[in-house]
Every structure is written in structure tokens, then in C-alpha cells.
Amino acid sequence: MVPADSASRSGTMPKASRDRSLGTFGKEMKLPVMLLTVLLLASCATRERTSLPKNPYEGVSITDGVSRKEAGRIVENYGLMFIGCGGLTGVTDRDNKWEVNGYFGYAGTPVKGTYIDKASGKIVSTIGPSFDPEKNNE
């Protein structure tokens, strides 16, 4: 005959105890899982605003090229217009262009390959539409 506590020493648990433990775990985890789901969905809800920019260049003069401050404004406008979940966080100086930094989507995928040309203001985007100020600036 095997002693009653030998099962716990060997790392196994009687089936009845295991079933009860899983049932309790499932009941205890419902609320935390529901809260995490709600927080995830709420974090990606679109922001309400009285008006969205008509184009990414709104409030920016690019006649003399695009400064860091102007690039930041273009990125902010672009994010409001096209990024529902995630966020564009700024720009990095890369020779003749401003590289766009940020994350998008539920998984927070890093933005890669999106930039603003310093001379023309042209936006080349891998996460939404690209823009040329000569064609798109109303």
C-alpha cells in the first residue's frame, strides 16, 4: 500500500483534487481576464476631437523645407488622421529625411520605413497613405 502523501512527493495530484483546482482557477481568473480585455480594447479606442486635420500639412509651412518642429506637427496630424490604435511619437534626423518613430496596432508594432523628406515635405508611409504636399495640400 502507498502512503497518502506519496502522491504529493512524486509531483502528481489525485484527479479529483486536480479537477477542483482547475475549476477554482477558472472562476478566480474570469474577472482579471475580463478587466485586461476591456483595458486592451479601451486603449485602442479612437480619440474624440471636435475636428480632425484636413491633411497632414495643416498648420505647417514647408516652403523653406521641413524643420524638426514642423515634422513633429506633420506626424501629429498624420497620427490623428490615420492611426487609430497606437501612436506616432516623433521623428529622428536621418540625413535628408525625418524618420517617423512610433508604434501601431494592438500588438504595438514598431513603425519602420515611414519618413518625411526634409526638402519637399513628402511623406512616404508604410502604415497608411503617402502624401506629396504639391498634390495633397489644400
Instruction: Judge whether 109 lies within some domain.
Output: yes
Domain that holds residue 36: 13-43
Instruction: Judge whether 59 lies within some domain.
Output: no
Instruction: Judge whether 8 lies within some domain.
Output: no
Instruction: Judge whether 5 lies within some domain.
Output: no
Supply φ then ψ for residue 88, to 5 degrees: -95, 130
Instruction: Judge whether 48 lies within some domain.
Output: no
Question: Do 79 and 132 have their domain in common?
Answer: yes
pLDDT tens-digit map of 89-130: 889 999 999 999 998 888 888 999 999 999 999 999 998 999
DSSP lists the bridge partners of residue 124 as 115
Instruction: Judge whether 102 lies within some domain.
Output: yes
What is the value of pTM for the model shown? 0.63
Query: 75 and 91 in contact (C-beta within 8 Å)?
Result: yes
pLDDT tens-digit map of 65-95: 999 999 999 999 999 998 888 888 889 999 9
Domain count, the chain: 2
Supply φ then ψ for residue 36, to 5 degrees: -65, -40
The torsion defined by the Cα of 53, 110, 120 and 131, in degrees rounded to 10, comes to: -50
